Each structure stands twice: as C-alpha cells, then as structure tokens.
A and B are shown apart, each in its own frame.
Chain A
Amino acid sequence: GENVGLHLPTLSVQEGDNSIINCAYSNSASDYFIWYKQESGKGPQFIIDIRSNMDKRQGQRVTVLLNKTVKHLSLQIAATQPGDSAVYFCAEEMRSQGNLIFGKGTKLSVKP
C-alpha cells in the first residue's frame, strides 16, 4: 500500500528495558515477513525474519511474533541498548510476487 503521513511513530524506552515494536501488514496472502533496522542515511539492515507457517521466532535479543488472524507482526528487543536507536520497518512478501513491501516504520529512541 501507499505510505501516508509525514511523521513516524516514535517509541521511547529506557536503556535496559524491553522494547516492543508493532506492525500491521496489508496483504493476507503474504507469506514471508522481515524486520529491518535503518539508521539515518543508511540502507535497511536485516534483523530477523519469519515465515507464515510460524507464529514466533527468536534471535539474539530479538523475537518476532506473527498473528495472521489480525495481520499483525511485532518485534521484541530485550535489554534495549543505545545502539538499538533507529527506525524499524516490517516488510512483507508474497512469494508469487517476489518483492518486498515495507510498512510505515517506527522510530525507536533509547534513553541512557
């Protein structure tokens, strides 16, 4: 879908706390999802992915949860650090299309 609005939602957390970033995806036929981290002036950096046949996947300090019923993804970051400050995007792919469509993004700000 198209992006609307000029302001990214912002999540502000204290260093050491856990962060939860949410994303609503648009296409019920999407079957692969990725979370990306983007620092200012840089390209997206892969964090973690999940396929539609799973509802949870864990990485190092990060967990992705997928709820296909309500088309919702979340990214949980444990023990958030100042280096985690960035904009986080979810992206969805429908295998038959073979391209990634990005969600609106959330700016994470970590207070020391």
Chain B
Amino acid sequence: GAVVSQHPSWVICKSGTSVKIECRSLDFQATTMFWYRQFPKQSLMLMATSNEGSKATYEQGVEKDKFLINHASLTLSTLTVTSAHPEDSSFYICSASQGGLSYTFGSGTRLTVV
C-alpha cells in the first residue's frame, strides 16, 4: 500500500531557530500534500495544502512566512518552521494524495521549542 515517510519523528530546538520537517511519498507520486498541526488532546487542524510546483494554499490564521512549505517534487514536501517559539511546539503531520479518494498520512513530528 501507499506509504508516507515523515522525518524527523521528533525534534527539540531553541527559540528563534528554524526547523525543517520532511514528508516523502515512498511508492507513489503525490500530486497534493497537506500539512496538519495537532495540539495535545485536540484534533488535527489543516495548516496548508500544496500542489507540486506551485505555491501552497494556507488556511486562515496560518502565517505563510512562518510556516514555509516547499513541494518541489512529486514525492517530497517540506515544512520549515521559522524563528520557532515555544507556542509552536506541537505535533505536525503530513498527508499525501494521488488525487481521487486517497489520503496517506505520515507518522508525525513532535516539535518541542525550548
């Protein structure tokens, strides 16, 4: 079946630094990738949708200059949290779609900003 690999699984960084999270579709070409954020005991909140080769579409309230998304190929999307602050600490999850009714999720990245 379709597999999405997300790295790192966890990361600790200092306030003010940037962190990059990678999301790869291993055995299929992902025309669209999605990034979600999940705070403890809450649901997944969609941050942005990205299509290969074009700019990401951000959900209302998500700062595009803070959460940089790159989807340069059909198998890789990256999310960079710039100038991270403790309030950015969260569980970030990517999802990839080939189009149609198919979404495959990564295993998530636990970001802790200290």
User: For the complex, what is the distance from the CA of A16 to the CA of B95, rounded to whole Å?
Assistant: 33
Complex Cα gap A46–B46 (Å) = 17
Q: Which of A3, A41, A49 contacts B101 (CB 8 A)?
A: A49
Q: Are B93 and A44 in contact (CB under 8 A)?
A: yes
By beta carbon, the residue of chain B nearest A97 is: B49
By size class, the interface of chain B is: 20 to 34
State the CA gap A103–B41 with chains docked (Å).
Answer: 12
**A75 sits at the interface (CB 8 A):** no
Which residues of B22-73 are within 8 A (CB) of A?
Answer: 32, 34, 36, 40-46, 49
Asked whether A43 and B103 contact (CB < 8 A) given A3-B43, A102-B43, A103-B43, the answer is no
Q: Is B46 a contact of A99 with CB atoms below 8 Å?
A: yes
Contact of A99 with B43 at beta-carbon distance under 8 Å, contacts A41-B110, A43-B6, A43-B93 already known: no
- Please list the residues of chain A having a beta carbon within 8 angstroms of any beta carbon in chain B: 2-3, 5-8, 32, 34, 36, 41-46, 49, 51, 89, 93, 98-105
Q: A100-B46, A100-B95 are in contact. List 17 more A-B contacts (CB 8 A).
A: A3-B43, A5-B42, A6-B41, A7-B41, A8-B42, A32-B101, A36-B105, A43-B6, A43-B106, A89-B43, A89-B44, A93-B101, A100-B103, A102-B45, A103-B43, A104-B42, A105-B43
B contacts, CB < 8 Å to A: 6, 32, 34, 36, 40-46, 49, 91, 93, 95, 97, 101, 103, 105-108, 110
24 residue pairs A–B, Cβ–Cβ below 8 Å: A2-B45, A3-B43, A6-B40, A6-B42, A7-B41, A8-B41, A8-B42, A32-B101, A41-B91, A41-B108, A42-B107, A43-B93, A44-B105, A45-B105, A46-B103, A49-B101, A51-B101, A89-B43, A89-B44, A93-B101, A99-B46, A100-B34, A102-B36, A105-B42
